[in-house]
Structure 1
Amino acid sequence: MTDDLEFRRYDAEQARAIRTTVEMVYRDAYSTAIASGDPFDSPEQFMTRFDAYTGSGRGFDMVVAYLDGEPVGQTWGWPLGSSTAWWRGLVSEPEPGFTEEDGTRTFALSEIMVRRHRTGRGFAHALHDALLGDRTEVRATLLVETDNETAYRAYTAWGWHRVAQLRPGWPDAPMFDVLMLPLPLKPTR
């Protein structure tokens, strides 16, 4: 089924042009989290974060997967520059120099999501590999909520490992585990 996916890549400006699609995919993929009433998961706060990500000019890179012309999932991130705020809120530094960035060391995978009726078909992994497959950084990082067992299982199966915890500066942000993955990706097939 993943062979039928069409991947489209977007920079920040192009991503802002499909903002309604981004929000629609988020609302579908995160409907349960949105229904919980947690302010951090509200579509308004999510789209505020999206606007900040795409407005920063930091090398934003997004991939949207389409099946028969319908968007089924999306993922995005950016390389961490020397003045990145990504590591603010880190509980403890895993090793000396861990947070030193120069724009070529670490790619931050910020979001990956698949619409509810399309989950369980390998689309998230295909999106993951489409976004990270050609990256030139030496490592990638992402944040995952500690109780998100489904995501944890997927990430560890894809080679990610936990190194620390972090609470981002976004309003109402929960505590996250910091996961790391060496790049370049090793072929999975």
Structure 2
Amino acid sequence: MRRTLVDIHVEVRRRDFGLTGPFYAAERFDERLSGHSSQPGWETVVAYDGPEPAGFAYATPLGTGTRWWTAMTTPLPDGYTTETGKRTLALNEIVVRRPWRGTGLARRIHEELLAGRTEERVTLLVNPKAGDGKVQAVYERWGYEKIGEQQPFADSPVFAAMMRAPLHR
């Protein structure tokens, strides 16, 4: 399964969206995947069309010692970043291959991933340049709001940090 996730990620991020640089390399994504998947509560949903993998999403609850909020470029209100391991789910990745884009598959994967979750809210980071802003607009249609920006890695882009609360809408 790991190879499938890495291959899809590279295909979509680098080839389709033209996102380049070390941050988008297969090895770096594989490192992030290892870190995320080793956390308690990590979950993934992979969609198939027959034998062909069409896309995936995965998420991890933010624990009490999370570094998720440390890279914010603007401060958030007091208590906003307090995590318990049950308060906020981080949607780490959602990726759909080109032949299945525009079919509603991303939304179905997203909702399937959230369906059994009990966290209060869900957060994600999106590269505002992805799809010339269209990807961020999709998240806004799904009920996410931009709460600020962050750059979690020295070689990563500055991402729009978004939140959807409550988790289920």
Above 0.5 in TM-score? Answer: yes
- Structure 2, unaligned runs of 5 or more: none
Q: Which runs of 5+ in 1 are unaligned?
A: 1-17
How far the C-alpha of 1:35 sits from its partner, in A, is: 5.3
Matched residue, 1:7: none
Is the 8 Å Cα contact of residues 62 and 89 (structure 2) preserved in structure 1? yes
Q: Secondary structure at the match of 2:69?
A: coil
Task: Tell me: CA distance 1:98–1:31, structure 2 relative to 1, closer, same or farther (3 Å).
Answer: same
Which of these residues, 63, 84, 101, is aligned with residue 83 of structure 2? 101
* Contact map agreement 1:34 1:41 (CA 8 A) in 2: no
Q: Say if 2:134 is the partner of 1:173.
A: no
CA distance 1:146–1:22, change in 2 (3 Å): same
Distance 1:78 1:113, change over 3 A: same
TM score, norm. by length of structure 1:
0.82
**TM-score w.r.t. structure 2 length?**
0.91
Distance 1:107 1:64 in 2: 18
Pick from 140, 143, 147 the counterpart of residue 125 of structure 2: 143
Q: What SS class does the counterpart of residue 163 from structure 1 fall into? A: strand
Identity percentage of aligned residues = 34
- State the alpha-carbon separation in 1 of the partners of residues 73 and 14 from structure 2: 30
Alignment match, 1:185 = 168
Distance 2:24 2:91 in 1: 18
Map of 1:14-33 to 2, 5 A cutoff?
18-32=1-15
**Displacement of 1:122:** 0.7
| 1:139–1:43 Cα change, 3 Å | same
- Shift of residue 147, structure 1, vs aligned partner: 2.3
Secondary structure at the aligned position of 1:101 is classed as coil
1:85 lines up with 2:67 in the alignment: yes
